Amino acid sequence: MLNPDQGADDTSSVGSDFPPPDSVLFESIAGELHQSTASPEWLDRVKSEGGSASSITDCLPYLESFLPDATRFWDHAGEGELASDFWTQTDASGDKIHLLACALAVDGKRLLLIRSVDDLYHESERAQQHAHASVKQFKLAALRQRGLENLEGSPKGSEQRSIETETRDALTGISSRQRFDELFELELRSANAQDQPLSLLYLDIDQFQLINDKYGRPAGDAYLRSIGQLIEGVLSKPKDIAARVGGEEFATLLPGTDATEAVRLAHTLGGMIRTLRVPDPISRGLLSATVSIGVFTRPSKSEETPAQMLGAVEDAVREAKRNGRDRIVIGDHPI
Amino acid sequence: MLIQKKICVIGEFGVGKTSLISRYVDSIFSEKYHTTVGVKIDKKQCPIGDALVNLVIWDLAGESHLRTLNPAQVRGASGFLLVADGTRADTIDIAIALQRKVSEILGPVPFIFAVNKQDLVEQWCVGPEVADTLRERGWDVRYSSAKTGAGVEQMFLDLASRLIDSEGATDAES
For chain B, domains (ranges, CATH) are: 2-173 (3.40.50.300)
Return the pLDDT at A82: 84
pLDDT score of A109 more than 60: yes
pLDDT digits (tens, 9 = 90+) for A216-240: 888 899 899 999 989 988 887 777 8
Q: pLDDT band at A213, cuts 50/70/90?
A: confident
Q: pLDDT band at A155, cuts 50/70/90?
A: very low
pLDDT over 70, % of chain B: 93
Residue B68 is nearest to which of A66, A182, A193, comparing CB atoms?
A: A193
pLDDT score of A194 more than 50: yes
CA separation for the pair B173, B165 (Å, rounded):
12
Return the pLDDT at B21: 96
Kindly state whether B14 is in contact with chain A, defined as any CB-CB distance less than 8 angstroms.
yes
Kindly state whether B105 is in contact with chain A, defined as any CB-CB distance less than 8 angstroms.
no
Task: Tell me the three-class secondary structure of chain B, residue by residue.
Answer: CEEEEEEEEEEECCCCHHHHHHHHHHCCCCCCCCCCCCEEEEEEEEEECCEEEEEEEEEECCECCCCCCCHHHHCCCCEEEEEEECCCHHHHHHHHHHHHHHHHHHCCCCEEEEEECHHHHHHCCECHHHHHHHHHCCCCEEECCCCCCCCHHHHHHHHHHHHHHHHHHHHHHC
Return the pLDDT at A3: 43
pLDDT score of B77 more than 60: yes
Kindly state whether B89 is in contact with chain A, defined as any CB-CB distance less than 8 angstroms.
yes
Q: pLDDT band at A150, cuts 50/70/90?
A: low
CA separation for the pair A266, A274 (Å, rounded):
12
Kindly state whether B75 is in contact with chain A, defined as any CB-CB distance less than 8 angstroms.
yes
pLDDT over 70, % of chain A: 81
How far separated are the first and last CA of chain A, in Å rounded?
A: 48
Kindly state whether A159 is in contact with chain B, defined as any CB-CB distance less than 8 angstroms.
yes
- Facing residues of A113 across strands? A25, A102
pLDDT score of B40 more than 90: yes
pLDDT score of B142 more than 90: yes
Residue A145: CB atoms within 10 A of its CB come to: 16
The amino acid present at A59, given as its one-letter code, is: C
CA A321 vs. chain centroid, Å, equals: 28
Contacts B34 to A, Cβ<8 Å: 125
Q: Using the beta-carbon criterion (under 8 Å), do A87 and B66 form an inter-chain contact?
A: no
User: What are phi and psi for residue B90, nearest 5 degrees?
Assistant: -65, -25
For all residues of chain A together, what is the average pLDDT? Answer: 82
Return the pLDDT at A281: 77
Kindly state whether B94 is in contact with chain A, defined as any CB-CB distance less than 8 angstroms.
yes
Kindly state whether B4 is in contact with chain A, defined as any CB-CB distance less than 8 angstroms.
no
pLDDT digits (tens, 9 = 90+) for A43-77: 988 887 666 556 888 889 999 999 998 998 888 76
Return the pLDDT at A140: 65
User: Nearest Cα to A258, choosing from A248, A266, A247?
Assistant: A266
Contacts A189 to B, Cβ<8 Å: 63, 65, 68
Asked whether A330 and A266 are in contact (CB, 8 A), the reply is no
pLDDT digits (tens, 9 = 90+) for A263-318: 999 999 999 999 988 888 788 888 999 999 999 999 988 888 888 999 999 999 99
Mapping DSSP to helix (H, G, I), strand (E, B) and coil, where does residue A330 land? strand
CA separation for the pair A67, A87 (Å, rounded):
14
pLDDT score of B10 more than 70: yes
Return the pLDDT at A207: 93
Return the pLDDT at A125: 82
Asked whether B41 and B113 are in contact (CB, 8 A), the reply is no
Residue A89 is nearest to which of B26, B41, B65, comparing CB atoms?
A: B41
CA separation for the pair B137, B106 (Å, rounded):
18
User: Which is more confident, B67 or A154?
Assistant: B67
Return the pLDDT at A130: 73
Residue B139: CB atoms within 10 A of its CB come to: 17
Residue ranges of the domains in chain A? 8-116, 133-155+164-330
pLDDT score of A92 more than 80: no
User: Nearest Cα to A293, choosing from A222, A205, A163?
Assistant: A205
Q: Give me the residues of A, 127-146, that contact B with CB < 8 A.
A: 128-129, 131-132, 135-136, 139
User: Which is more confident, A93 or B17?
Assistant: B17
- Please compute the mean of the pLDDT values over residues A123-144 and round it to a whole number: 72
Q: Using the beta-carbon criterion (under 8 Å), do A136 and B14 form an inter-chain contact?
A: yes
CB pairs under 8 A between A and B: 101
Return the pLDDT at A159: 40
Which chain A residue has its CA at the smallest distance from B26's CA? A94
What CATH class has A133-155+164-330?
alpha beta
Provide the shortest C-alpha distance from residue A322 to chain B (in Å): 32
Return the pLDDT at A146: 59
Q: Using the beta-carbon criterion (under 8 Å), do A139 and B40 form an inter-chain contact?
A: no
Q: Using the beta-carbon criterion (under 8 Å), do B76 and A65 form an inter-chain contact?
A: yes
- Facing residues of B11 across strands? B83
User: Which is more confident, A2 or B133?
Assistant: B133
pLDDT score of A123 more than 90: no
pLDDT score of A10 more than 60: no
Residues with Cβ within 8 Å of residue B151, at least 6 apart in sequence: B114, B118, B142, B143, B144, B145
Which chain A residue has its CA at the smallest distance from B74's CA? A65
Residues with Cβ within 8 Å of residue A183, at least 6 apart in sequence: A175, A241, A253
- Please compute the mean of the pLDDT values over residues A6-18 and round it to a whole number: 48
Kindly state whether B122 is in contact with chain A, defined as any CB-CB distance less than 8 angstroms.
no
pLDDT digits (tens, 9 = 90+) for B89-141: 888 988 988 898 899 899 999 999 999 999 999 888 888 888 998 999 899 99
- Facing residues of A34 across strands? A27
Return the pLDDT at A151: 47
Asked whether B162 and B109 are in contact (CB, 8 A), the reply is no
Q: Which of the residue ranges A133-147, A194-208, A243-257, B13-27 would you say has the lowest mean pLDDT?
A: A133-147
User: Which is more confident, A85 or A99?
Assistant: A99
CA separation for the pair A96, A119 (Å, rounded):
13
Contacts A61 to B, Cβ<8 Å: 6, 41, 56
Which chain B residue has its CA at the smallest distance from A159's CA? B125
For all residues of chain B together, what is the average pLDDT? Answer: 89
The DSSP secondary-structure symbol of A323 reads T
CA B88 vs. chain centroid, Å, equals: 17
Q: pLDDT band at A173, cuts 50/70/90?
A: confident
Mapping DSSP to helix (H, G, I), strand (E, B) and coil, where does residue A19 land? coil
- Facing residues of A87 across strands? A99, B39
CA separation for the pair A66, A70 (Å, rounded):
6
DSSP labels, A212-269 = HHHH-HHHHHHHHHHHHHHHHHH--STT-EEEE-SSSEEEEEEET--HHHHHHHHHHH
Give the residue ranges of DSSP H helices in chain A.
Answer: 8-16, 41-50, 56-59, 63-76, 118-152, 177-194, 208-215, 217-234, 259-275, 306-322
Kindly state whether B71 is in contact with chain A, defined as any CB-CB distance less than 8 angstroms.
no
Spell out a b/e string for A157-173, using b for 16 or more CB atoms within 10 Å of the CB, else e: eebebeeeebeebebbe
Return the pLDDT at B46: 92
CA separation for the pair A91, A42 (Å, rounded):
8
CA separation for the pair B17, A23 (Å, rounded):
29
- Please compute the mean of the pLDDT values over residues A205-213 and round it to a whole number: 91
Return the pLDDT at A335: 59
- Write the CA distances from A200 to A41, A254, A309, A313, integer angstroms: 50, 6, 7, 8
Return the pLDDT at B169: 57
Provide the shortest C-alpha distance from residue A83 to chain B (in Å): 12
Q: Using the beta-carbon criterion (under 8 Å), do B133 and A94 form an inter-chain contact?
A: no
Question: CATH fold of A8-116, please?
Answer: Beta-Lactamase (3.30.450)
Return the pLDDT at A141: 65
Residue B65 is nearest to which of A69, A129, A135, comparing CB atoms?
A: A135
